[in-house]
Amino acid sequence: MKVHTTNYTNAFIMVADDCPAVTAEVPPIKGTTKTAANLQFEQIIENPYKFTSDDVLFRVYAHKNELRKADLEEARTVFFSKGQPCMRASPLTKRYGWGVHADKDGKIALYARETPEYKQFSEDKKLEVVKAMKSAR
């Protein structure tokens, strides 16, 4: 079974050109249920450079589907047996104004679009700099 990945290394994902957030925003909780954006944000902001994109996206999937610990390994293999949207398609980069830096090991951290670090990463010639996907075509 082919295994796909969403991981980037030595890369920076800038916010989408049509991102409505002028400054980075914490994704709001809708009712009593956390959205994928909430779950992604919490994992990354609380654990900078601890997880890869694959780790974050699968953990959100596992949480949303209430997977048991015993089922995680097999579920992860099945999850990545087909392509998954990467952080370029995340609401964090498309809607809420967060850039995502991936280090040499593929571990990720968030940077608010208004920060000096965001500007530095976006201009770093040693990184693969890509923009998040636009919401509108």
**Does 47 fall in a domain?**
yes
Number of domains the chain contains: 1
Judge contact between 40 and 19, C-beta under 8 A: no
**Does 35 fall in a domain?**
yes
**Does 120 fall in a domain?**
yes
Tens-place pLDDT, residues 111-135: 999 999 999 999 999 999 999 999 8
Instruction: Name the strand (E) or helix (H) holding 77.
Output: helix 72-79
Q: Whole-number mean pLDDT of the chain?
A: 94
**Does 52 fall in a domain?**
yes
What is the pLDDT, as a whole number, of residue 50?
A: 98
**Does 137 fall in a domain?**
no
pTM over 0.85: yes
**Does 17 fall in a domain?**
yes
Strand order through the sheet with 11-14: 108-112, 98-102, 11-14, 128-131
Tens-place pLDDT, residues 90-102: 999 999 999 999 9
Task: Give residue 72's domain range.
Answer: 11-131
Tens-place pLDDT, residues 17-71: 999 999 999 999 888 888 999 999 999 999 999 999 999 999 999 999 999 999 9
With a cut of 80, say whether residue 2 has pLDDT above it: no
**Does 4 fall in a domain?**
no
**Does 1 fall in a domain?**
no
What is the pLDDT, as a whole number, of residue 30?
A: 83
Pick the closest to residue 90 from 50, 49, 130, 47 (CA basis): 130
What is the pLDDT, as a whole number, of residue 31?
A: 86
Tens-place pLDDT, residues 70-114: 999 999 999 999 889 999 999 999 999 999 999 999 999 999 999
